[in-house]
Structure 1
């Protein structure tokens, strides 16, 4: 009996201990007080708690973390290092405006990241570094205006990228490089009006592309040919008015959405290079007729709903083609009256008849009499219009206010456009000469395209009367100069494109008639020098952005930039041999300076002193820079956010410690000498709050290693003075109180002989630096 009681007592004691152990284990599981945690699902929810920092008490085994509806504003580097097992992360509606490089480092298991409904404006290089398993990325409903090349390089497994409802206007070349497994790219609801030819290069697996609800005026044929696997393309709600021959050259495309645009006509050869098309949606455009479509052999549905289709004899070929090919025509007739609202699929060829010439002429005269313009009001007609006021061979859309005569072989500017026209496209013609008053009746035109027109002379007053013109494109012509009165009569002009001409100087006299000019493009001209004489003080008093890339500029005289409050200055790919330091004194508001691609071997002391208070972004890539003075960046401080010196010949760098506001720095492809003279840079990298890419070029055994990873600095001797002359890092000699960094675990300590050898090496380097300094002082 006693033995039985003892056994029972032991049993209950064991059970009690197990329960106690289990209870203590559960209590030990981490869960921030602001959050709710589900241990069985390994889920943590901290939504709507007005948190300003990522909570630190989240258990490291958490796989799903919900942080939506908080107020983080910025995601710093290493924000999630304490939760390495996350697979799903929600950060929508958190007022995030910046994502620092390395913010997601350590999240190699995350497959879904939601950053929607935030305030992110720029996607920086390596913003998503560490997300190597990511499959879905939601960036919709942000303020994104720019995608920097390399932003997605780490996301090789990404399948879906949502960038809808942002502020993108332009997609540059290689913007999505690295996304080789992307299946669906969503760019709807932006303001895209231009796509670079290589914008989608590298998207080898992309099968669906959404570009609806943007501002595209032309089908981006050249860009789309880089998408060999796309099957579904959505371009609805853009501003296209015409599709020319071979516009759609996509060999695997099956579904094409071109509805709710301004299409007034399209070539029967528009889809000739898209033979697999099965569904084409052309609904709610301005199409009155359509020729049989050459190319698609498997077309099942052609949607023409909402178009003013006029069902007469001109529609017979399309109807016959659809019947033979088995394509279903969706939509209804808008006229003539006896066929109004009759479904296209039920109309027979016998119904599609043309009236006699006299009757047709009578109808046209009646409709012209009904089209009255009284300061902008157009009286609606009971039947679709058969004629529109428009020059011969051109297309005019009175509803979208667009007119185009692109590449029609004109040698004189056509006239007679609808008075409400706002966008006038004349590119690709052969005008050669634009005489005075060439654009009568175009007082409402906002954007005028004259690219690739072989123009070599513009007479004074050529644009007279275009009082609402904001955008003028004169790119890729043969202009060598501009008359002083060339831009008379366009006082509102804001954006002027003159790139790709043969101008030898900035046309300052002509610019003096443009009091509202904001952006001036002069890339790819023959300008060799900037002189104050050619730029009167009255020239473009509001100019902020001046682009002079790819000219032959070898010098900028002092006072040459004093004519405008320039904020952005691009001088890349010119013939400069030194930083135009004195000229920058005339640009006190300069925020962005691009000097890349010039041949500048040496950056002297305080080279950017005159712009030090305003400069935010400085680009000096591929310039062949061999040395920078230790004071080269002196004066630049927390205001500088971008610094790039990639692809130069630098062995050492100046002091970077004052640049505490940097968000992007690129030191790659420089043959840095990794010895004790570079120790201050190594320490700066260790303390920096952003990712710094810098590799060793010397000595040979360290070539290719990251400066941040090499152990060479652990051997720097105690109390060594690191000379900074001739470009060494640091603005003054650095006394290292304890330069011998503790050896990492597993690394053997140096013996006495090795320490002696390193001291001798340091002494030789010191003597060498001293000799170089004396030589410099002697010069």
Structure 2
């Protein structure tokens, strides 16, 4: 046997792998499907990755002959050649059930498909295909999913021809192509189609009604095209549930153009040119919906200026539905954001069935005064980025299920006492970026699991939450306001508050009398980015359960005994970006459980850690951007590495190796101090130099005594003479 033959014999000879796959030895050329890319998923289920061509692969006999187990073969071919020659194993091709071909074919006949009659899923995504010749899908009688997205197809006129009628194709994806026109008979044979994606093309005309034969279609994606009018093109789709028309040029939607609109679970006509909301857009039929269906009506990003009252026909339809003994639980989500709505009629939402989400953000709404009974089931209400200056009790009185309320970026300057008296399930209330300067009460009750109130960016300088109000408030955000006197923020009765953010205010000093905070529950307090220069002893003494205290970005220079008294549970203390040149650990002796201390960016010259030598937990001290010496750093690192202490200096971002870093921590080298290695020890050269200096000093000392001895001996001899 020649060496060449031996080479190919050993390389391509059939071998059983873990899945009992056999690599064919018929083809005397390099294998296209490497053995390590052939995976056995389960009995008679395989995943195979090939390059260029599909050659040299066979299935075990028990998976090729009659079997009670289904045979699934998933093949991916990278850099696939456009055609396959006579050496391709046709028997193996006939076993493939899922095929993905990746190549670059401007024009193709897809000849391989002639031999893949069992194919169920075909993926031809992103191959640069402009033209598909002949009828390559004709014999694919089992094909269920065909993906031709991200190509350059223009003409699909006679593309989808099949031998079997009706065929099994259920999903067809043609997104991101260059299709401008869809002929009336383009999908004539695809009567079993359930999902069709034509999004991101150049379609503008649907006058030939190309979908009329798709009687089982449930999902149709036409978003991001150039459609101006539906022209009744989808009126025959009685089972259509999801219609996506986002990003077109549609100016009008009425019942003539879209008779199936009442059947739709998802109706997305956002980013078009609609100027009116017609009642037909909001009403829904219930015969075709399953229990607990959610209808999503998305009208955002249009040119709508007004939301009119529901028509009497639609209202009566809603009430007749409520009396239906076969009533199903149907919910509605309505998105009207990013329009120019300035007027909302009182009964605008009367035709909607169990509205649970309403988004009116980024409009021009001045007054939101609607019938609260139509919003009785609402859970999410977004009114942000409008011009609302007043809230109405009648609007919110029936919203007993409301959980998320966004009123940010409006013109509110107060909250009327009775507005939210009927709401007991708030999880998040966002009132940021308004003009509220003071609040003497907050009539809000939060969800049994707790809630969040955000009042940041308001100009607020005074806040009082009396006893019995703000029940179950867990997190309060007050950052970026005008709070200078912390005593005007009274939260002492709020016994469930856990997180309080007071950052970015004007607070200058802290003392025990100004902190009117809950003692038993607060675990997180953020006072960063203020103007704090002084903290009196015992200021935090009552916050015995506090875990995190942030004091970064202030003007602190030093501390006193008792500054942090009472913080026996504190885990994290942030003192970064202050003006602390020297910090003595004796002022932090009360912090018995401290795990993390940050003193970053303080221009610190010295940090005394002697009082923490008996600390019971590992304490990370972040020392970035300071002026600490290598001598100090080396000593502390030695003590930590030798187990003498649990205090470890560190940085957020380690510096590269260099003469002025120890364990990735930058430090300042004093010329008078010995050079350290990365473990904080003197380098060998430095130790040798020191030893030499000591020897010389000893020699000089001995010489001194020797000269002194000789001098004394000479004097004695002179005296004898």
TM-score interval (norm. to shorter): 0.3 to 0.5
For normalisation by structure 1, the TM-score amounts to: 0.44
The structure with the larger Rg is: 2
For normalisation by structure 2, the TM-score amounts to: 0.47
